[in-house]
Chain A
Amino acid sequence: MGIKILTKDIDVPGIQNFQVYRSYGGYNSVEKALRMTPDEVVEEVKKSGLRGRGGAGFPTGMKWSFIDKKSGKPRHLVCNADESEPGTFKDRYLMSKNPHILIEGMITSSFALGANLSYIYVRGELMYVVNILQRAIDEAYANGFLGKNILGSGYDLELHVTCGAGAYICGEETALIESLEGKRGNPRIKPPFPAISGVWSNPTVVNNVESIAAVPYIVNNGGEEYAKIGIGKSTGTKLISASGHINKPGVYEIEMGVTVEEFIYSEEYCGGIWKGRKLKAVVAGGSSVPILPANLILKLANGEPRLMSYESLSDGGFATGTMLGSGGFIVFDETASIVHNLWNFERFYHHESCGQCSPCREGTGWVEKILHKFLDGHATMEDIDLVADVAKKIEGNTICPLGDAAAWPVASAIKHFRPEFEWYVTNPEEACKPGAYYTGDKLVLA
């Protein structure tokens, strides 16, 4: 069993209640941080090597050090609990089972940033989680960990939970800020970055739930201790949301550096491919990252085992690698249709495009339509290159990275599974039969 930081106490009965959480050492990091200076707390987070768990993996301590302190404007910490990347469900798991770990992290982190008014923004579908967090916040106020003069330190913090109302794009940090201001979730043009001008034009840091929940451990044990866990620049533990064709879907906290093979096949984690079938492909970091066939997800191009870490998953670039992303690990068995799944993902991006940028608004629609021709049995060989071309023209041409997120799955699916697309063109009757699946001789299974 690897080390558990975020999920250590998650199954303790009653851990949702302040007193129980406190009796397990909860809120100790607030007491400790309040005896330090804010800069000292930032320093520990820098030393920890913690990287943002929302998808981009940007170093958290460095992000914090960018926040504008000179202007004298109020500062805000906003927790991104929009969790909508297909395949990702770790934040919901953590917040619903152990809400206080997030509240504690918010207090300690807000102190480090000099923020006196902070928010947790939760997607609107997760209203029951909004209500769980609200209760936890109320308890923290009642016990003197929120409000004025926390524990007599002179530090004041107001913390609130707010909600969205259904929009993937609100997970993008500037769209989230717009939404928090009560507007449509249209991403902003950067710069200025939120660290300079965020909520109500005030300096703002946006961090993922899992990033913030790691802060109490880092403050309690020191950044160096955290940095000893994991491998290379992938320090600490990571919550992986495992879904699809595996025996044991669920959220697993792994120490970075576990091999992909162990993660998929060991009883401790996914427990292998379901129904005794073979592995065909994996989307390792949420729907937006490149899909990899079985051989490439298990091994690097040089034959070494691939590890669950930022560096190892992206090894080989987009030619033979992918990304850790949000840690949404979606597994496909031998019967899964890569073409159908791609169409499904692209319907998602089309639906979720905010519509500001023409390449994304129009491009995702065309990608979805062209892909549907394959499922209808009407696609031609040219359509394979056409869909790749349309996706390519979205990439890099939009205000926010949703355009890239929509394009990468197309490029990678065609790159690694082209014969399957061709099969839909040459054998439409066979390919479109319910229950049919591709078994061409170029297919690599594991």
Chain B
Amino acid sequence: MLDNNIQFSPEALNLVNKYIAKFPEGKQKSAVIAVLHLAQAELGGWLKPEIMDYVASLLNIKPIEVYEVATFYSQYYMKPVGKYVIEVCHTGPCWLRGADELIAYFENKLGIKKGQTTPDGMFTLKGVECLAACGTAPVFQCGMDYYENMDNEKVDFFLDKCRQENKVSRPYPVMN
């Protein structure tokens, strides 16, 4: 069902058109992955069904084609999550260099377990697989950015910065 309250800003619509223009005529479905990233960034941080329906209408594809994609990829959230989703790498090479300790520190600081969201809706702590940054372990990704060679002090600094900014942070392709 289309919900008329769900609408991209003009700037975001402009981006959507640029994503679509990367593909030949009639292949606009290819843009769905980028548009879903943008939808999370602009429309509340997670993909409720109405948002997926809106994305389908923009790309002129069936809603099921969007659901199929949204439920496959790990960066899309099918349930509400925090404004900041802290995606800590817990794969082998990071584990060898302190990923468990990093996660424990976050758990302790935020008072939640891996997989949970703080009651104020600010942070979700997530364990993710190798982020291609094993040489600067331990690492996490949040929004557009990578945070490498992490230690407790850097984590404190990061959390303070987020609390000051206090806005939904999700990655999406930026274009001029």
Contact = CB atoms under 8 A, between A and B. Distances in A.
Contacts of B73: 124, 164-167, 185
B129 A163 contact: no
B135 A249 contact: yes
Interface string B40-63: 000000000000000000000100
Contacts of A77: none
B37 A87 contact: no
A103 interface: no
A243 B132 contact: no
Nearest to A409: B92
Interface stretch (A38-46, A340-348, A437-445): A340-348
Given A87-B130, A125-B75, A250 B135 contact: yes
Interface stretch (A62-70, A128-136, A229-237): A128-136
B100 to A, nearest CB: 10
Interface in B135-176: 135-137, 141, 144-146, 171-176
B97 interface: yes
A150 interface: no
Interface in B73-96: 73-76, 87, 90-93, 95-96
Nearest to B33: A165
B135 A348 contact: no
Contact of B129 (A86, A88, A200, A251): A86
A200 B24 contact: yes
Given A162-B22, A167-B72, A332-B96, A92 B132 contact: yes
Contacts of A341: 92, 95-96
B29 interface: yes
B69 A131 contact: no
Given A162-B33, A251-B135, A330-B92, A128 B146 contact: yes
A89 B30 contact: no
Nearest to A274: B97
A120 to B, nearest CB: 11
Nearest to B41: A127
Contacts of B33: 124, 162-165, 179, 182
Given A124-B171, A243-B93, A330-B93, A351 B135 contact: no
Contact of A134 (B29, B37, B130, B174): B174
A258 interface: no
Most A CB atoms within 10 A — which of B61, B69, B97, B129?
A: B129
Contacts of B87: 125
A87 B146 CA distance: 16
Contact of B37 (A83, A165, A330): A165
B109 interface: no
B68 interface: yes
Contact of A127 (B22, B37, B68, B76): B37
Contacts of B176: 134-135, 138
A373 interface: no
Interface string B105-132: 0000000000000000000000011111
Given A86-B129, A243-B96, A344-B95, A184 B141 contact: no
A86 B134 contact: yes
A151 to B, nearest CB: 23
Contact of A166 (B22, B74, B172): B74
A117 interface: yes
Interface in A166-214: 166-168, 179-185, 200
A147 to B, nearest CB: 14
A135 B175 CA distance: 8
A250 B148 CA distance: 12
Contacts of B75: 124-125, 165-166
Contacts of B32: 182
Interface in A235-271: 241-245, 249-251
A89 B134 contact: yes
Nearest to A92: B132
A98 interface: no
Nearest to A332: B96
A292 B34 CA distance: 40
Nearest to B70: A165
A165 B146 CA distance: 15
B51 to A, nearest CB: 15
Contacts of A83: 132
A130 B61 CA distance: 25
B175 A86 contact: no
B93 A123 contact: no
A242 B131 contact: no
A344 B69 contact: no
Given A131-B173, A182-B29, A241-B134, 5 more contacts: A126-B132, A181-B29, A181-B30, A182-B32, A182-B65
Interface of A: 83-89, 91-93, 117, 119, 123-128, 130-131, 134-135, 138, 160-168, 179-185, 200, 241-245, 249-251, 283, 287, 328, 330, 332, 336, 340-341, 344-345, 348, 351-352, 354
Q: Enumerate the 10 nearest inter-chain pairs by beta-carbon distance, A residue then B residue, closest first.
A: A127-B171, A166-B74, A165-B73, A166-B75, A243-B134, A182-B29, A86-B130, A160-B22, A249-B135, A184-B72
25 contacts: A86-B129, A86-B130, A89-B135, A124-B37, A125-B128, A125-B132, A127-B37, A127-B144, A127-B171, A128-B144, A128-B146, A162-B34, A165-B36, A165-B74, A167-B72, A182-B29, A183-B69, A244-B96, A244-B97, A245-B97, A341-B92, A341-B95, A345-B92, A348-B92, A352-B129
